[in-house]
Amino acid sequence: MMMKKKKKKKKKKKKKKKKKKKKKKKDSFYDDQLLLGHYSGPALGNPSQSTSLHYMNPYQMNAYAMALKAVGEIIQDYDSDKMFPALGFGAKLPPDGQVSHEFPLNGNIENPYCNGMEGILKAYHQSLKTVQLYGPTNFAPVVNHVAKYAAAVQDGSQYFVLLIITDGVISDMAQTKGAIAAKLPMSIIIVGVGQAEFDAMVELDGDDIRISSRGKLAERDIVQFVPFRDYMDRTGNHVLSMARLAKDVLAEIPDQLILYMKNRGIKPCPLPPPYEEPGPEDQDHTQTTPI
């Protein structure tokens, strides 16, 4: 008898632990959508040469891949299906060499979605083998692409995060300012790689002065810019560099999301009831109930 009782107690404890884990997994009132835009332009050099920022080193990730992995691996946990559209800009595409500022990294126009961070990295490396890097650096097409999706979902059920990785030499500042849709459920993270001057990126960030277009001030600051070089660890510890980068670029997202909700008067949806495993009584009932 005693042994049976002990066994029962143990089972109860285990049940409690499982319940807690399940509840944590469901603890979210919106679905976060990550979209990636990365610059491919000629200033970055030939990906097969070690001087290129896109250099495909078999032993070490380049700055583009590190920035993507650092930010993406955290954001993907807030996405329900972990399928992400990944777009490139600043390249000539096969077969006719047409310049594009909004092309799918996986080469599939109908379905630009990649499965998780591994899928995006795979598509990114594959695209470097098929496209020819070409300028100029235009942000507006990619920003407009995301804004189109965000405009269709304004009930608070989804929030869009655009991650742009670039060398920082922006060519369409006026158009990009006009495209930055501060009224929509979206945030923009820009990571600058390389040694370029990032003055234009700092202007887009809008931390000190709110971004304006055609004399109109943006409703809220939705752009966060960081130069990747500021996070490179001197000892070569890339894990540490990536952790620092992720912490800083994601720091403003929660406040940006909450401000959007407040401005629209959107309240969080109530959490679903915590998951409960059927107890012994329920199991017995299930077994004895006729089909």
**Which residue in this structure is represented by tokens 């012994």?**
280
What gap in Å lies between CA 163 and CA 261, rounded to an integer?
A: 21
pLDDT for position 216: 59
Residue 232: which domain range?
33-265
Structural domain includes residue 288: no
**Position 4 in a domain:** no
pLDDT at 113: 92
* Interatomic CA distance for residues 185 and 88, integer angstroms: 22
Residues whose CB falls within 8 Å of the CB of residue 122, separated by 6 or more in sequence, listed in order: 114
pLDDT one digit per residue (tens) for the chain, 291 residues: 444 444 444 444 444 444 444 333 333 334 556 676 665 555 556 777 777 778 888 888 888 888 888 888 888 888 888 899 999 888 899 999 999 989 999 999 999 999 999 999 999 999 988 988 887 889 999 999 999 999 999 888 889 999 998 876 788 988 998 888 788 999 999 888 887 778 878 788 765 555 555 555 667 889 988 888 888 777 777 788 888 888 888 888 999 999 999 999 998 777 667 767 776 665 555 444 444
- Type and span of the H or E element at 92: strand 91-93
Confirm whether 61 is domain-assigned. yes
Rounded to the nearest angstrom, the gap between the alpha carbon of residue 49 and the centroid of all alpha carbons in its chain is: 28
The reported pLDDT for the residue numbered 235 is 74
Establish if 24 belongs to a structural domain: no
Whether residue 261 lies inside any domain: the answer is: yes
pLDDT at 185: 93
Cα-based distances in Å from 92 to 103, 105, 112, 136, 160 = 10, 13, 18, 11, 28
User: How far apart are the C-alpha atoms of 17 and 202, rounded to whole Å?
Assistant: 47
On whether residue 271 sits in a domain, the answer given is no
Domain contains 276: no
pLDDT at residue number 211 = 59
Query: What CATH number has the domain bearing residue 51?
Result: 3.40.50.410
Count Cβ atoms within 10 A of the Cβ of residue 286 and give its class: 0-12 exposed, 13-18 middle, 19 or more buried: exposed
Q: Go through the chain and tell me how many residues it has.
A: 291
Number of Cβ within a 10 Å radius of residue 143: 26
The verdict on residue 2 lying in a domain is no
pTM above 0.85, yes or no: no
At residue 283, the pLDDT reads: 54
Residue 206 is predicted with a pLDDT of 66
Number of helices followed by number of strands (H, E) in the chain: 9, 12
Tally of domains within the chain: 1
Beta strands in 102-232, from DSSP E residues, in sequence order: 103-104, 113-115, 132-133, 158-166, 186-192, 212-213, 216-217, 223-227
